[in-house]
Structure formats: structure tokens, C-alpha cells
Amino acid sequence: MSELIPLKATARPRAGKGAARQARRDGNVPAVIYGDSKTPETINLEYNALWKQVLKGHFTSTAFELDVEGTKHIVLARDVQVCPVRDTPLHVDFQRVGKDGIIRVSVPVKFVNETASPGLKRGGVLNIVRHDIEVFSPYDKIPAFFEIDLTGLEIGKSIHMSFVQKPDYISPVIKNRDFTIATIAGALKGDTEEAATTAVAGDAAAAPAAGAKAPAAAAGKAAAPAAGGKAAPAAAAGKAAPAGKAAPAAKPAGKK
């Protein structure tokens, strides 16, 4: 559960871009406090103190006790404008926590025991639909994350909000449906069959079957002549007559 983090600030009497630039030149970060039906207040935060809190992570889901020159406010960071080049904070919007202490906040989701999921072991993929879940929570009891156990989950299993273990004092913002957080999807059937077909075709083309003989030379094909030589003439004996012509009759013995 989260705890109130103390943070000091000073009042900024003037608003606008000029005053904000001056605050940055002095090593501060301009900010504003709004909400709880009160007048917004412009303040300055010491850069190093703010940057340390940003580096800790979960900055926008952490409740702060903001001390503005002796006046304390319980606030939650709602928006942080950062430098597009250095990625450092340029301006922060803080929202006051109301009297009931209930705030709307996004809580990250953490998945555990991936190796204990039969679906993931068989080649399934964890398809995360929501990395964060918006809930209503007391400002001093914001969970750091929601833990989802994947033990025993098979391919095709969907993880809904009702599957998440949470305290009774926390309720999801979406209440009219049991929305999906993640699914365990399998490999595409078409991709699997195509891979198997390719493998079989590759095996068939690799080598001839055992015991197969090399193809015989084409019938009647003449042998290649030696280098510089002439091809041997075809044997005249037994040469077939052209189609449609009769073979000449043999001469009788003793006649010229």
C-alpha cells in the first residue's frame, strides 16, 4: 500500500509563461494545485527534490503531502509535462484529495508464474489487453500493482477483471462488464501447416531414396567425340528404310 510522501513547495504569486520560465531559470519546476472545489494555486517545486520522486516510478499513482509554506495539501499528480529533448519535468498538475479520500487512479498489472502455465509451455503467447486498470481507491491505500497468477492456464484462456484478487475497498471504474485483461493465444494453424509442408518438401528434394539408380543415358544418344576429333558415323548395317519407301532388292549372285 502507498504512503504519503512529503514534498515541499513555495507559492508562485504570478501565473503565465513568463513566470514559469523564470521559475525554471531559478532551478524550480512550476506546478499548480486544483480540485476539491477550491481555488487553484500556482506553486514552485525544487527541481532535484521533484526529480528524485519521478525516478522512483509510479509518480502519478503516489499520494503526496504537499507543504506549501506551512499549508499542507494531500494531492495526487495528474499530469507531468516533460522536455521533449531531455525528458525532464517542465510542469506538474496536482489534484487535491477530497474529504472522502477516494481517488481515481490507474494501477499497473503484474503477471507471475509464466513457467507454470501449460499454455505458455506449449508455445502459447500472453496477449496483454490492459497494462493498467483504473480503479477507485483510498488515497493512502493505493496498491503498487495487481498481481495475476498464470499457474495452470491453458491456451484459449481469457483473464477477466473478476479473476484479479483485490481488497474490498477498491472498485474498478468500469462496473457494467467483466472486461478482459489478457488472453493466452496459440500459434496460427495456417502458419504451423505451412511450416510442416515446407519441411516435408525440403526433405524430399534433399536426396533420392535408398537403392535408387541413376537414370540411364537417352537411347540412341551418340557419345561425345574426343577433343579435335570427328564423331563416328552411324553403322549402316541394320539401318531402317525411310517411311514410305521400299528397301532395294538384293542383287543375285554372279551378276554385275
5 phi and psi angles, rounded to 5 deg: -100, 120
pLDDT digits (tens, 9 = 90+) for 68-119: 988 999 999 988 999 899 888 999 999 998 777 888 888 999 999 999 999 9
pLDDT digits (tens, 9 = 90+) for 214-251: 444 444 444 444 444 444 444 444 444 454 454 455 55
Which homologous superfamily does the CATH classification assign to the domain defined by 5-98? Ribosomal Protein L25; Chain P (2.40.240.10)
Domain extent listing, the chain: 5-98, 104-189
Q: Please report where in the chains the cell 518438401 appears, as a residue.
A: 201
Q: What is the CATH code of the structural domain delimited by 104-189?
A: 2.170.120.20
pTM of the model: 0.58
